[in-house]
Amino acid sequence: MKSVKLIDVSDGAASGHVRRREAEALAVRDACLGWLPLGGVLARLADPVVRVWMKRSGTAYAAEIDVVARTLKKPGIWLLHGAYLFGCTALGDESEKGPRLRRTLDWPFPGLGRLVEVRRQRGAGGEFLNVTWPGFVGVLTAVAPGRFAASINQAPMRRRWRSSMLLWLDYALNALHGLRGRGRLPPEHLLRQVFEACTSFDEARRLLESTPSRDPSCSCSSAPSPASAS
């Protein structure tokens, strides 16, 4: 089994280390878009739409995505950040050692699992470990030792057609559906704010409950993190 890289990012920004992980970040893009029929065309059409929506949303991380996109010089970077396709099934449950968050990569993206990295990031609230991918700006699964842990669980994708040949069209339409409106943060950007700013589980829960985000069908499974966790 291939080990997962632990990378220390002093300023917390994905854009700060994407140059050192450029090949891996491009591999993530290819894993998500390379198998789709007309994936390159979709990326070129969707990137400008997602870029405009992202800046309307009020997220503090749009500039980071812009740096990643300009570094990688391939279409699809904005699209992937707009669709957050990495948000596979998550589960919060109890174990003998306390609350546990589980994640499975059950979307059909060949190679996505071996590209996972753990990024050590910091914010005003403290340090946290972000289970993520090279070039990805948001937070989908993370643990802040002594504070809390949280994981976004993306709801099942709406399917309009039974044919697997039209699966790529469902991906596109569902992603574009979420890009309507303004002033609602991408869920993965809201969760990053929570890990950067909140010092306790209760504070994190209040922020998640009170801040509008883009996708109301997305749920966030969270659990307190024991003070002794490392």
Q: Could you report the per-residue pLDDT of 152-206, keeping only the tens digit for each?
A: 877 667 778 777 777 767 766 776 666 665 667 888 999 999 999 999 999 999 9
Identify whether the C-beta of residue 74 lies closer than 8 Å to the C-beta of residue 65.
Answer: no
Which pLDDT value is given to residue 226? 44
**What dihedral do alpha carbons 109, 115, 116, 120 form, nearest 10°?**
-150
- Other Cβ atoms less than 10 A from the Cβ of 35: the count is 13
Give the whole-angstrom CA distance, residue 191 versus residue 114.
23
Give the whole-angstrom CA distance, residue 18 versus residue 117.
12
Looking at the whole model, is its pTM more than 0.85?
no
Which pLDDT value is given to residue 78? 92
Q: Strand runs (DSSP E) across the chain, as ranges?
A: 5-8, 90-95, 98-103, 117-123, 126-132, 141-144, 148-153, 219-224
The torsion angles phi and psi of 102, rounded to 5 degrees, stand at: -120, 145
Which pLDDT value is given to residue 163? 78
Low-confidence stretches of the chain (pLDDT < 70) are 1, 11-12, 14-15, 84-87, 155-156, 168, 171-172, 175-183, 214-230
Identify whether the C-beta of residue 99 lies closer than 8 Å to the C-beta of residue 174.
Answer: no
Q: Is 80 helix (H, G, I), strand (E, B) or coil?
A: helix
